């Protein structure tokens, strides 16, 4: 089945500012990546009325990163946005950066660079959202639960270097 054939011309993706995505990713030690994939696939399921299972696509996010990135790219192309997401390139980068977790020592921290493809994809998704749904909230403020997570994450990071 071609996963991109049902992409509507007026797409809507999970909205979150790239700054907030970065902070949540760092403060959750990268676990926010799973949540981010879940929210993206949940939006796609609702929009396309498809049978995708967001929780599985988030747990195996790397395997489903290309179909997600491709949907964002196609939505940008449908909107005739100037520089669409290079979905295959960023998917390969995501896989390679996640693969660095098997490296020894400080090189293992390269895994945290896997946020870069997500930031690029989210910026592209935000661009699509802004074009198609200018009234859509930007999700750039931290709610109370997120503030607690950030504080806890800062504490974990500080104690890990002490």
Q: What is the pLDDT of residues 120-145, one digit of tens each?
A: 999 999 999 999 999 989 999 999 99
pTM of full prediction above 0.75: yes
3-state secondary structure of 68: helix
CA distance 96 to 98: 5
Higher-confidence residue of 67 and 108: namely 67
Sketch the domain layout of the chain as residue ranges: 18-160
Question: pLDDT tier at 55 (50, 70, 90 boundaries)?
Answer: very high
Taking a C-beta distance cutoff of 8 angstroms, is the pair 114, 94 a contact? Answer: yes
pLDDT of 80 reads 87
pLDDT at residue 101 above 50?
yes
Note the pLDDT of residue 15: 95
96, pLDDT greater than 90:
yes
- Of 133, 120, 119, 148, the closest CA to residue 43 belongs to 133
pLDDT per residue as tens digits for the range 71-93? 999 999 998 887 888 999 999 99
pLDDT band for 5, please (50, 70, 90 cuts): very low
Task: Name residue, tokens 């071609």.
Answer: 2
Dig out the tokens for 130 from the structure: 């802004």
- Return the residue matching tokens 């998917």: 91
Average pLDDT of the chain to the nearest whole number: 90
Please report the sign of the dihedral spanned by the C-alpha atoms of residue 141, residue 33, residue 103, residue 159.
Answer: positive
């Amino acid at each position: 089945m071609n996963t991109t054939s049902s992409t509507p011309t007026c797409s809507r993706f999970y909205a979150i500012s790239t700054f907030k995505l970065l902070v949540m990713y760092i403060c959750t030690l990268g676990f926010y990546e799973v949540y981010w994939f879940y929210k993206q696939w949940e939006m796609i399921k609702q929009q396309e009325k498809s049978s995708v299972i967001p929780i599985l696509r988030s747990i195996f996010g790397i395997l489903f990163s290309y179909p997600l990135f491709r949907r964002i790219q196609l939505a940008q192309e449908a909107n005739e946005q100037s520089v669409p997401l290079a979905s295959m390139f960023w998917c390969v980068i995501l896989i390679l950066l996640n693969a660095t977790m098997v490296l020894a020592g400080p090189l293992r921290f390269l895994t945290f660079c896997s946020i870069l493809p997500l930031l690029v994809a989210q910026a592209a998704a935000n661009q699509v959202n802004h074009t198609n749904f200018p009234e859509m909230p930007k999700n750039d403020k931290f709610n109370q639960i997120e503030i607690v997570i950030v504080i806890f994450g800062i504490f974990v990071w500080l104690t890990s270097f002490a």
